[in-house]
Amino acid sequence: MEKLRFAIVEIGSTNTKGYLYENNEVLDLGFRTIEFKNHYKVQGEISEEDKQELYDFIKGIDCEDIYVFGTSIFRNLTIEQKEQWLKEFKEATNLDFRIVSSDEENELTVYGAIAETDYPGKMAVMIGGGGSTELAIVENKKIIEKKNYPFGAMDTSDMFPDIRGTYAKTPYDEMLAKTKELISAPQNKADLLILAGGDYIYFYEELEYPVESNKFYESSLQPYCLDVETMDFLDKKFFYEINLDEVCERTHNEGWWRGARGMRLCVKSLVDILNVKYIIPTRISMVYGIVEKIKNHEI
């Protein structure tokens, strides 16, 4: 018998997101910024404060069946650290913690990104995170090429620390060139780049940046698009004209915004390498692929 109600928690290097599946609908339960990767870099282990924040987030979910998935940073734990973490998490929450590989994250996220699309050309799906970036090139709803990169928004922010401050100081072209050096270029190009794995719509909403309706296909999960020229103009404004301190204070979400400029460098680098003409900002994550696997009793 199909489960009609369950919750899913996705835990990345920087953001932890919750979802509720009920009556054939995925409901967003919000997210919390928990900087697992940054604190792991300093301490060499998962921070006790981060663990408690995660436990508190999960305890706040009103659902009996909860499935928990960890990505980027948890893949990089030592074997001993993984064993200890899985045991400790189980004892604290009475739940299993599943560590998802880069390939699994890629495929699960792409599922949600292409489910409602009928674009005739090649599309790319970027799964951007704090500590990793996955890329898939899609044609006719099939993945024809995949790339997994062991860096993300936190890494580019570490390369150029001033972008976490009020205004960026390092020249944009210099930062972009160094970020591109981290990327092994895929063989295929793409006209469209779907931004998934993070809340890219939130970025445009909070900054009150203009986006247009998706003119390539109808999708409830992908309502908007933005041409690359406009994206470039708005991104440079975000780096050098928008007061990041004010944004952090206004949104009460400092951890997310301090890494946002680093993420924009990751996006722009792939846009250039793939010769993308339009981006499709979304809130899509691997949750839609996970839902199908749970419904099919594969998890």
136 vs 274: CA distance, rounded Å: 11
**Whether the predicted pLDDT of 3 surpasses 60:** no
Q: Are 134 and 262 found together in one domain?
A: yes
Q: Flag whether 228 is in a domain.
A: yes
Contact by Cβ (8 Å): 13, 73: yes
- Domain span holding position 92: 5-100
Q: Give CA torsion, residues 195, 28, 217, 183, to 10 deg.
A: 10
Q: Flag whether 288 is in a domain.
A: no
**Whether the predicted pLDDT of 156 surpasses 80:** yes
Look at residues 67, 100, 133 and tell me which one is the last residue of a structural domain: 100
Q: Quick one: which of 113, 5, 134 has its CA closest to 62?
A: 5
Q: Flag whether 196 is in a domain.
A: yes
Q: Are 83 and 134 found together in one domain?
A: no
Q: Flag whether 241 is in a domain.
A: yes
**Which CATH number do you get for residue 154?**
3.30.420.150
Q: Are 72 and 184 found together in one domain?
A: no
Q: Are 160 and 269 found together in one domain?
A: yes
Please name the amino acid found at residue 296: N
pLDDT of residue 118: 87
Q: Retrieve residue 156's tokens.
A: 């580019």
Q: Retrieve residue 271's tokens.
A: 């846009």
Q: Flag whether 291 is in a domain.
A: no
Q: Are 125 and 84 found together in one domain?
A: no
Banded model confidence at residue 24, pLDDT cuts 50, 70, 90: confident
* Tally of structural domains, the chain: 2
Look at residues 50, 70, 100 and tell me which one is the last residue of a structural domain: 100
CA angle 173/177/179 to nearest 5° reads 115
Segment 92-110 mean pLDDT: 92
Contact by Cβ (8 Å): 123, 114: yes
pLDDT of residue 52: 97
Q: Retrieve residue 173's tokens.
A: 């072209």
pLDDT of residue 173: 98
pLDDT of residue 299: 86
Q: Are 115 and 61 found together in one domain?
A: no
Q: Flag whether 224 is in a domain.
A: yes
Segment 90-118 mean pLDDT: 91
281 vs 198: CA distance, rounded Å: 9
pLDDT of residue 285: 87
**Whether the predicted pLDDT of 116 surpasses 90:** no
DSSP code string of 147-173: EEES--HHHHHHHSGGGGSSS--S-HH
Q: Flag whether 36 is in a domain.
A: yes
**Which CATH number do you get for residue 76?**
3.30.420.40
Helix, strand or coil, per DSSP, at residue 267: helix
Q: Are 15 and 119 found together in one domain?
A: no
pLDDT of residue 223: 96
Q: Flag whether 79 is in a domain.
A: yes
Q: Retrieve residue 80's tokens.
A: 């001993």
pLDDT of residue 62: 95
Q: Are 75 and 134 found together in one domain?
A: no
Interval 124-147: pLDDT, tens: 999 998 888 999 999 998 999 999
> Which residue has better confidence, 73 or 170?
170
Percent of the chain with pLDDT over 70: 99
**Considering the entire predicted model, what is its pTM?**
0.83
pLDDT of residue 232: 98
pLDDT of residue 2: 55
Q: Are 142 and 73 found together in one domain?
A: no
Look at residues 70, 100, 130 and tell me which one is the last residue of a structural domain: 100
pLDDT of residue 189: 97
**Whether the predicted pLDDT of 1 surpasses 60:** no
Q: What is the mean pLDDT of the chain?
A: 93
Cα→Cα distances 165→104, 126, 152, 250, 291, Å: 34, 26, 18, 15, 38
Q: Are 134 and 255 found together in one domain?
A: yes
Q: Are 134 and 272 found together in one domain?
A: yes
Q: Are 123 and 267 found together in one domain?
A: yes
